[in-house]
Amino acid sequence: MRIYLFCLLISVFPAAAHAVIAQQEMRPGIPANADYLIGEPGKPAVLLLHGFLQTRDFPTVATLTRGLQDAGYTVLAPTLSLNIPNRAQSLACEAVHRHSLDDDVAEIGYWVGWLKSHGHRSIVLVGHSFGSLQLLAYLSLKPDAAVKAYIGTSLIEAQIGTTARAALIAQLEDRVLGKQRALVNQPLSFCRKYPSTPEGLLSYVRWDQARLLAALRQSPVSVKLIMGDQDNVMKRGWLKALALVQVPMVIVNGANHFMDGAHEFDLLEHTLKSLDTIQPVPSR
Amino acid sequence: MKWFTSFSIKQVALAFIAGLLVLVSLVGSFAAYQTQAVTHSMTLQNENAAQSELAAAVQRLLSQTEDQSVKLASWDETRQQLVLPEYYTYWRDQRVYESGMLNNRHVRAALYDPSGMLLEPSPAGISIPARLPAGTPPHQNASWLIDDAGTVALYYAFPVYSDEQRQSLLGHGLIRLDFMPALLRQDALHFTDIASVGLALKLGETLATSDLFSRLSFSARPNPDQLRFQTILSRTLLVLFVLLAAMAVLGFMAYNRLLVRPLGCLSQVIDAMQHGRFSPNPSRSQSMRIRELENIRRSLYDYQLQLRELHGSMEHQNREFHTQARQDTLTGCHNRRAYEEDWERFRQELKTAPQGVAFLLFDCDRFKTINDTYGHAKGDRVLSIIADALVMALRANDRLYRIGGDEFATFLSRTTPAQAKQVAQRCQSLIDAAGFADLGIVEPVGLSIGIAFCAADQLEQVDELPKQADIAMYTAKQPGRTRIALYGEDTERASQTLVASRETSALFQALASPGMIEMHYQAIHALPGRQVDYYEALARIRYHGKLILPEAFLPVVSSRRLETEFDLAVLNQVDADLSSGQLPTGCGLSINLSAQSISRPEVVSQLLELSRHNARHPLMLEITETSLITQMVEVRTYLDLLRTVNYRIAMDDFGTGYSPLRYLVDLPVDVVKFDISLVNKLGQDNRAGQVVADFARMMSGVGYSLVAEGVETEAVLRKVESLGIAHAQGYLLGRPIPLSELAASFAAEGAKATCNT
């Protein structure tokens, strides 16, 4: 794996002096990149993941990145490739979606490995919205031992609208089995039209609330959720469900799904509080 | 050389208006020329604008295409298709349009792998090259045009990289669009005629976009502003020209009515005034609308009235002057000028109306003597009475002319000699009956009348009538005559009078030509020794070799009042004789002068000049006693002056004239010369002889030196000697001889030839 580091010299902010763009080839012909902001050595590195079809430049993520870095944390904020070389833009719902949750989890694994390769032995996974789901999916597999904690903000399941999930899953499985390559145009998350390959769509559709709750319960690392009580994106009763499984959770009053505005500081504050509770592991 | 020609005001107005129209035409032409230039400039500008906007449109289209290519190249989904082209058609036919990367279905996008091969063939009807043209640079954009079955397509190829650093080439993108519709669809062509835009491209020919503009044909859209501008300007010029022409015509009419016509009227009035024609009713002339012209008209009217009055007055005065110029102011009858004009006109009339003509010449007898004796005032009165009497005596239509001092004339038409004589006799009768005695004139005043007649068949001799009348008048003056003479009938001695007439001519010629007067010298002898004491200079006129004696020409001198001129001529000749030195020194000279000449300054000046001879030749002046000296004071003053330069003064012809004693008393006389009439009395042994003798003794007794003239007999000479008269002269003692003869006698006598001085 080749790593290209491009140093952007910014003299105004001292932290910026430690910012680099990390790039990895996730699959043949599909390179991806991430902002790598180096923090204080004694603090865990944070792998911060953006939401559905977004990039690391999404405001909630970007603000949180700067806040964490300012707090002395090393932050790695990748942009999932979604099978697009060096994706830099939010992917439109109507675009051809050739990615799957498996690809996303694989890329998370790559970035965890990348952090480890850079000496980070304590990694905290922080995700926003669908990114929290993707990180949780990563944790449900065999996560790297360096991953020490998970902070999910505005965690949300893979919503499929009014379509019956089971039937859809069955239909998709039939297509996958039948090797039908035609694009499936099924609402997913906030996308009304989401043309995707059957296997890609199926990988996401499987992650409903129940699977999320199970993953939370089965997480090998400490889990912390930060949710907004004004989040209109999540389904009604989702916070209650989370509370039922007794997942450590902070509910930010008045915050919406994106925790924008003044709630950005709430998000940062709660995130930092969660990070402060993690026992530091010396870097190699 | 006449370099200036005056023009009428109408011509000036026409010239002005013509000039104005020419000027307007020139301005209009200039404006039209400028309009054409502006139009041409605007056309060029329009073409340039069309060219510029077309170039801008092309450039804009290329830029838009390039922008599209940039967006496509940097679009994540483009890169995805180059890596995972399974759903390429979905991307090509749907995503590029849904996403807004291409906003027009006429614009197509295609992707090629790094080797330049199209990812997937294009659908039917859309011409997309299966392979990028050879030579397409792999890392640069390339664009070209090609004629695809009659449709000019613009292709824009661009590289697509995996990374922002353009290190990893994923493949190529291609944008295809129908060039002409895309170009013209921009709605940015305002100056270009869209229908005219074309691109000359052969079928299948490839054209680089850098060469595009050179193959692009177009024409500029007619500029509506330009057309409107031309139309407005042309209409404006036309309207302006029509307005100016109309204004010029109206102005000319107004000018003609307000200025030309009134000025013409004024000019006509002035011309008429200049030629003496005045408007019969100047007040009726129409009033003028221009105040200044109206003032001129009124002034002219007033001036015309004044001029009319003045003209009338002048005509009256002219008639007056004409009359006065032809009227003798003294007598009221016609003067010599009228005589000459009337005579000439009458002569001309005779040529067409032959008739008997009589010419009457009147001359007052002894008028000079009367004038000298009684003064000019009475002399003038005499002439008036004579004129009145003659006018009364003449026929109603006959005119009386005063042609000289006391000479009158008239010519009678349609008459006979007998009728003329009757008229003359009637004239004489009225003169005789006139009351001259009332004027204190005791002497009879008579009138001599000379008549000349010319019959109707002898009119060729009519020019001789004045001369013949003159001769007849002289005949009438002969003693013993009836004082009326008809030429040819009463002029028995016509030849004699002809001589007289000849002597008159001789006199005038002698006065004009020095040398014709010849001085003869008669010795004056001292008594009782009888030796020559001095000489008296006596004038003769030599005319055609013959001598004319004073008896012949002196009456002419007197009648013509030529005394001064004659005396000056005599003095000149005496001066010449004395200067010649032919007279021996000591010989004195006695010179005759008329009393009138003594009072003339030029004569006195001449005498003063002559006095230079007094040293060698004692000079004496003889004043004729017969002359009536009217200016006694002046004469005495001059005589006193002459005596200071040693002139002696002698009273000549004493005993024949007027007031001799007064002259002797008042004038500085040294010598008294007894007239021959008195001297002859001395020869008579009677009381008259005794009176003269006693008078002579008395004169001698009071100191006068006496000279006896006309001594022709021995008896008279002895008597003279006995009376103690100092000098004597006469044919008995010696006749007058010319200077040459006198000089010869002096030469013959030799040393004895001296005067007894």
Residues B488, B593, single domain; the answer is no
**B30-47 per-position pLDDT tens digit:** 877 877 787 788 788 888
Residue A266 has pLDDT above 80, yes or no: yes
pLDDT at A16: 43
Buried b (16+ CB within 10 A) or exposed e, B327-346: bbeebebbbeebbeebbeee
Q: What is the CATH number of the domain that holds B139?
A: 3.30.450.20
CB contact under 8 A, A98 and B84: yes
Residues B104, B124, single domain; the answer is yes
DSSP secondary structure, A152-167, as one string: EES------TTS-HHH
| Nearest chain A Cα distance for residue B128, angstroms | 23
From its phi and psi, is residue B6 left (phi > 0), alpha (psi between -120 and 50) or beta?
A: beta
Domain count, chain B: 3
Which residues of chain A lie closer than 8 angstroms to B79, CB-CB? Answer: 84-86
* Cβ neighbourhood burial of B419 (10 Å; 0-12, 13-18, 19+): middle
Which of the 8 DSSP states describes residue A92?
A: P
pLDDT at A4: 42
Whether A85 has its CB under 8 Å from any CB of chain B: the answer is yes
**CA A127, CA A49: separation in Å to the nearest integer?**
5
Which residues of chain A lie closer than 8 angstroms to B168, CB-CB? Answer: 31, 85
Which residues of chain B lie closer than 8 angstroms to A30, CB-CB? Answer: 83
The mean of the pLDDT values for chain A is 89
Residues B485, B539, single domain; the answer is no
Whether A101 has its CB under 8 Å from any CB of chain B: the answer is no
Q: What is the CATH number of the domain that holds B740?
A: 3.20.20.450
B231 is a domain residue: no
Q: What are phi and psi of B355, to 5 degrees?
A: -165, 165
Q: Select from B81, B98, B164 the Cβ nearest to the Cβ of A94.
A: B98
**B299-322 per-position pLDDT tens digit:** 877 877 787 787 788 778 888 887
Whether B457 has its CB under 8 Å from any CB of chain A: the answer is no
CA angle A269, A274, A275 (to 5 degrees): 95
Whether A31 has its CB under 8 Å from any CB of chain B: the answer is yes
Residue B469 has pLDDT above 80, yes or no: yes
The CA-atom distances, in angstroms, between B45 and each of B52, B198, B407, B685 are 10, 21, 111, 152
Which residues of chain B lie closer than 8 angstroms to A84, CB-CB? Answer: 76-77, 79-80, 83
| Nearest chain A Cα distance for residue B111, angstroms | 16
What is the CATH number assigned to the segment(s) A6-157+209-276? 3.40.50.1820
* Cβ neighbourhood burial of B728 (10 Å; 0-12, 13-18, 19+): buried
| Nearest chain A Cα distance for residue B151, angstroms | 32
For residue A251, how far is the Cα from the chain centroid?
19
For tokens 């999930």, name the residue. Answer: A165
B98 is a domain residue: yes
B254 is a domain residue: no
B250 is a domain residue: no
Element (H, E) at B60: helix B9-74
Q: How many CB atoms lie within 10 A of CB A164?
A: 10
Which long-range contacts (C-beta less than 8 Å, at least 24 apart) are formed by A230-236? A230/A254, A230/A255, A230/A256, A231/A154, A231/A255, A231/A256, A231/A257, A232/A256, A232/A257, A233/A129, A233/A154, A233/A156, A233/A190, A233/A257, A234/A154, A234/A155, A234/A156, A235/A157, A235/A159, A235/A209
Which of the 8 DSSP states describes residue A234?
A: S
> Averaged over B375-396, what is the pLDDT?
89
Residues B463, B524, single domain; the answer is no
Q: Which of B217, B246, B278 is the last residue of a domain?
A: B217
Size of interface A-B (CB pairs under 8 A): 59
**CA B521, CA B535: separation in Å to the nearest integer?**
6
**CA B751, CA B413: separation in Å to the nearest integer?**
72
| Residues 117 through 176 of chain B touching chain A, CB cutoff 8 Å | 162-164, 168, 170
Q: Which of B470, B492, B514 is the last residue of a domain?
A: B492
Torsion, Cα B162 B166 B169 B171, to 10 degrees, reads 80
**CA B363, CA B402: separation in Å to the nearest integer?**
10
Whether A76 has its CB under 8 Å from any CB of chain B: the answer is no
Q: Which of B168, B189, B217 is the last residue of a domain?
A: B217
Residues B351, B459, single domain; the answer is yes
Q: What is the CATH number of the domain that holds B459?
A: 3.30.70.270
Q: Select from B91, B163, B164 the Cβ nearest to the Cβ of A96.
A: B91
pLDDT at A8: 36
Q: Select from B86, B87, B162 the Cβ nearest to the Cβ of A85.
A: B162
**CA B497, CA B471: separation in Å to the nearest integer?**
6
What one-letter code names the amino acid at B160? V
| Nearest chain B Cα distance for residue A21, angstroms | 12
**B235-260 per-position pLDDT tens digit:** 887 887 788 778 878 877 887 777 77
B303 is a domain residue: no
**B592-624 per-position pLDDT tens digit:** 988 778 888 888 888 999 999 998 999 999 987
**CA A35, CA A69: separation in Å to the nearest integer?**
11
Residues B487, B463, single domain; the answer is yes
pLDDT-derived band at B212 (thresholds 50, 70, 90) equals confident
Which residues of chain A lie closer than 8 angstroms to B73, CB-CB? Answer: none
Whether B87 has its CB under 8 Å from any CB of chain A: the answer is yes
**A127-182 per-position pLDDT tens digit:** 999 999 999 999 999 899 999 999 999 999 999 988 899 999 999 999 999 999 99
Answer for the pair B89, A85: CB distance below 8 angstroms, yes or no.
no
Residue A123 has pLDDT above 90, yes or no: yes
pLDDT at B584: 86
Residues B387, B515, single domain; the answer is no
pLDDT at B755: 66
Q: What is the percent of chain B where pLDDT is above 70?
A: 93
Residues B578, B702, single domain; the answer is yes
CB contact under 8 A, A98 and B86: yes
**CA B223, CA B45: separation in Å to the nearest integer?**
10
Query: Closest residue of B to A27, CA-based?
Result: B83
CB contact under 8 A, B80 and A83: yes
Ordered by start, the domain boundaries in chain A are 6-157+209-276, 158-206
CB contact under 8 A, B80 and A85: yes
pLDDT at B281: 63
> Averaged over B734-747, what is the pLDDT?
88
Residue B497 has pLDDT above 70, yes or no: no
What one-letter code names the amino acid at B715? A
Whether A86 has its CB under 8 Å from any CB of chain B: the answer is yes
**CA A82, CA A107: separation in Å to the nearest integer?**
9
- Of A46-60, B88-102, B439-453, minimum mean pLDDT range: B439-453
Residues B454, B527, single domain; the answer is no
CB contact under 8 A, B77 and A92: yes
**CA B39, CA B35: separation in Å to the nearest integer?**
6
- Of A140-144, B370-374, B548-552, B609-613, minimum mean pLDDT range: B370-374
Cβ-based neighbours of B637, under 8 Å, separated by 6 or more:
none
**CA B536, CA B531: separation in Å to the nearest integer?**
14
Residues B604, B706, single domain; the answer is yes
pLDDT at B618: 92
- Domain of residue B720: give its range: 504-752
B230 is a domain residue: no
pLDDT-derived band at B757 (thresholds 50, 70, 90) equals very low
Residues B31, B149, single domain; the answer is yes
* Cβ neighbourhood burial of B92 (10 Å; 0-12, 13-18, 19+): buried
B238 is a domain residue: no
CA angle B482, B486, B489 (to 5 degrees): 100
